[in-house]
Chains A and B, each alone.
Chain A
Amino acid sequence: MIWYYLIRRLFLLSFVFFALTCFAFSLGYLFPGDPLVNFSGISQPDDELLPVLVQQYRLEQGYLQQYLAFLQRILQGDWGLSLASQQPVLHEIIRVFPATLELVSYALFISFVLGVPLGLIAAIKANHWTGRAISSIALLGYSLPIFWWALLMIMLFSIGLGWLPTSGRISVLYEIPVTTGFMLPDILMSGQTYWQAALQDAIRHLWLPAFVLATYPTTVMIRFTRDAMLSVWQQSYIKTARAKGLSRSQVLYRHGLRNAMLPVLRQLGLQFSTLVTLAMITELIFSWPGIGLWLLDSINQRNYPAIQGGLLVISSLVILVNILLDILYTLLNPLARKQVHG
């Protein structure tokens, strides 16, 4: 039964990837300019190169052949050159992508650690002032425009108090060799003599962007956890468990939280694409050298191969996270396993 479900998901995944690559391929024609330039990133191919490229991209053949050639190049890792830097797009993405992943994962971590307990408190003390206060703060945080919030934080902590730096991942004083692309593990593995100072500096750079980016997912977690917990708390099995003599905390953990986290998990996937959008804006404001900043630069430079590559990578990430969460949800929830066809 579960295998059948997994195969269905896999089929869905391949369909979505097919549609995504079709869309990315058609961008080569939709973007202004010559499709050959948009695909290859070579702005002025000379007379020798031109026939080779036309041959390689199968431009004189039909769209289907061109799409197949495109797919082949994507799988082989030939994503064209960036029009701005004339470097391979894939290399640039590999260089900037870990920074985004790092920022997003810290923000998600903060949102779990803060959001779930706060949401629980808000649900249990729904009519108490603590519950109301948490719900109100969550609503306020939910309504904040992130760029304004980031600027306010910069005005307060960087310009006003001077505690935290405003931009970048680490001070230029420290030279950290790139091994994984993730800053904190890289510093730990670097073996430099100043690694402790570098670590402190990197964490000081991390505070503001991670906190600003975490605001939205944290408030979303609070709201979802609270709503889910409120509806679970009215179920009869909670009353049964209480009547059997379990203590409040036992009921809360074994019967309440486990059931309440399921819908939260489900909603989380839908919120992930919003989180990526917010991460792109955060990166711009804090000059965090991630894929969002890179893409926003690319749009200003009309760097079409880079936009195409960025679309593929970011959408694939969101799709994968969605499908993984969906599978996780089905594995954890016996009720959902019955309805695999739905």
Chain B
Amino acid sequence: MAKFQWLQQKDELGPLSQLWHSFRQQHAAVLGLILFGFFALIAVFGPLITPYDPYLQNPDAVLLPPSWDDAGDVRYLLGTDDLGRDQFSRLIKGASYTFGIAFMTALGALLLGFLLGVLAGMSKGFRASAFNHVLDLALTIPSLLLAIIIVAILGPGLVNTIWAIMLALLPQFVHGIRNSILQQLEQDYVIAYRLDGANNWQILRYVILPNTWEQLTVLFSMALSTAILDIAALGFLGLGAQSPAAEWGLMVAEALDLIYLSPWSIALPGLLIFVAVLSVNLVSDGLRTAMRKRQES
């Protein structure tokens, strides 16, 4: 129900502060944001704080359990892997790989998707129709299948899978951006602005963009969680990052033979992937709820 809110300061805030106001009231979303910031910091500054070189092999300390275990060693906080490399350092290094590269990939897909989405949204007639059909095709090829094909053409490797994931993320960006632009173009204020003599570029710059950036943020956060999961999955399948990279999915795959000996070396990298994706999803959900609340008020 609409209430009189004359005396509340909330309405005098700008759109961004209003959004932050209702975002802050969701504890889970704030927790997600803190975790997200934590992962981002680790991804950037991680290499500076690792206690050991993530690739340094110590033959005297092989397959140590985490330090709280009776057989553990306090110098290796989370134990070591089968080559005597420090798990803790490798997990920190993995944040730059899995989380950092996923972020870059999603960002690249966002920029490219934005360009194509604007082109698709602003064009009409046959061009728009043909574009839609190609998009429909691209949306149907599963991302892993696309990655398999790209890897088959270019060979396995992290860079090639980045292209594959970017291509796989692209259609949903183009789709989302195109839809929100079309939705904006139907609004009365766009028509009014057009009657004032604004051209396409001005409409895009001054009316549509300011009204779609929230949509962009939500699209980006959804794509980021997909990108993290995809990079980890491709690393796990041996198509993405190659040994000895400390990518979390690859670390799970390498520990697969040791599933009886050291279950923690499977559990820990997977847990980090899970928490990273969870933090992104929490922020994404919180953003959407905050946007809905702001539009209702």
A residues near B (Cβ < 8 Å) are 12, 15-16, 19-20, 27, 30-32, 136, 139-140, 142-148, 151-152, 154-155, 159, 270, 273-274, 276-277, 280-281, 284, 295-296, 299-300, 302, 304, 307, 310-311, 314-315, 318-319, 322
Check if B184 is an interface residue, CB within 8 A of chain A: no
Do B274 and A276 touch across chains, with their CB atoms under 8 A apart?
A: no
* B278 in contact with A151 (CB, 8 Å): no
Out of A145, A273, A277, name the residue touching B273 (CB < 8 Å).
A145
Give the secondary structure class of A's interface: helix
A155 touching B142 by the CB < 8 A rule? no
Q: What 8 pairs across the A-B complex have the smallest Cβ distances?
A: A148-B270, A277-B144, A143-B278, A143-B277, A273-B142, A277-B142, A318-B140, A276-B142
Stretch at the interface among B53-61, B105-113, B199-207, B230-238: B230-238
A147 to B253, CA, bound (A): 9
Least CB distance from A4 to B in Å reads 16
Is there an interface contact between B148 and A295, defined as CB atoms closer than 8 Å? yes
Contacts A31-B153, A276-B144 known; 9 new A-B pairs at CB < 8 A: A146-B233, A147-B232, A148-B274, A155-B263, A159-B259, A276-B142, A276-B145, A277-B143, A281-B233
With beta carbons under 8 angstroms apart, the residue of A139, A147, A273, A310 that contacts B143 is A273
One digit per residue, 1 when the CB lies within 8 angstroms of any chain A CB and 0 when it does not, for chain B 84-127 equals 00000000000000000000000000000000000000000000
Residues of chain A within 8 A of B273, CB atoms compared: 145, 148
B79 within 8 A of A: no
Evaluate contact between B139 and A273: CB separation under 8 angstroms.
Answer: yes
- Nearest chain A CB to B38's CB is how many angstroms away? 16
A-B contact count (CB 8 A): 122
Docked pose: A273 CA to B282 CA in angstroms:
24
Nearest chain-A residue to B279 (Cβ)?
A: A143
Q: Pick from B140, B266, B269 the residue with the most CB of A within 10 Å.
A: B140
Once A12-B136, A296-B148 are accepted as A-B contacts, the answer to whether A139 and B282 lie under 8 Å apart by CB is yes
Smallest beta-carbon distance A306→chain B, Å: 10
**Does the CB pair B249–A147 fall under 8 Å?**
yes
Closest to A314 in B: B145
Residues of the A chain whose Cβ atoms lie less than 8 Å from the Cβ of B153: 27, 30-32
The residues of A that contact B137 with a CB separation of less than 8 Å are: 16, 19-20, 319
Q: In the assembled complex, which residues on chain A have CB atoms less than 8 Å from the CB atom of B152?
A: 27, 31, 299, 302, 304, 307
Q: Judge whether B71 is part of the interface by a CB distance below 8 angstroms.
A: no
B267 proximity list for chain A (CB < 8 A) = 152
Chain B interface SS verdict (over half): helix
Q: Which residue of B lies closest to A140 (CB)?
A: B278
Contact among B140, B142, B149 for A27, CB-based, below 8 A: B149
Given the known inter-chain contacts A139-B285, A145-B274, A299-B151, please indicate yes or no for A318 contacting B233, CB distance below 8 A.
no
B134 is an interface residue with CB less than 8 A from chain A: yes
Within 8 A of A (CB), among B190-236: 225, 229, 232-233, 236
- In contact, B252 and A147 (Cβ under 8 angstroms): yes
Q: How far is the CA of A19 from the CA of B136 in the complex (A)?
A: 11
Is B133 interfacial (CB 8 A cutoff)? yes
Q: Closest approach, in angstroms, between the C-beta of B210 and any C-beta of chain A? A: 25
Q: Are A155 and B259 in contact (CB-based, < 8 A)?
A: yes
Give the CA-CA distance A146 to B137 in the complex, in Å.
25
Inter-chain contacts of B139 with A (CB < 8 A):
270, 273, 322
Name which of B141, B151, B277 has the most chain A CB atoms within 10 A of its CB.
B141
Of A12, A20, A307, A319, the contact of B148 (CB 8 Å cutoff) = A307
Q: Are B281 and A319 in touch, CB under 8 angstroms? A: no
Q: Report yes or no: A318 in contact with B274, Cβ–Cβ below 8 A.
A: no
Q: Please give the distance in Å from B259's CB to the nearest CB on chain A.
A: 7
Docked-complex contact B144 and A315, CB < 8 angstroms: no
Q: In the complex, which of the residues A19, A142, A299 has the most CB atoms of chain B within 10 Å of its own CB atom? A: A299
Residues of B within 8 A of A276 (CB): 142, 144-145
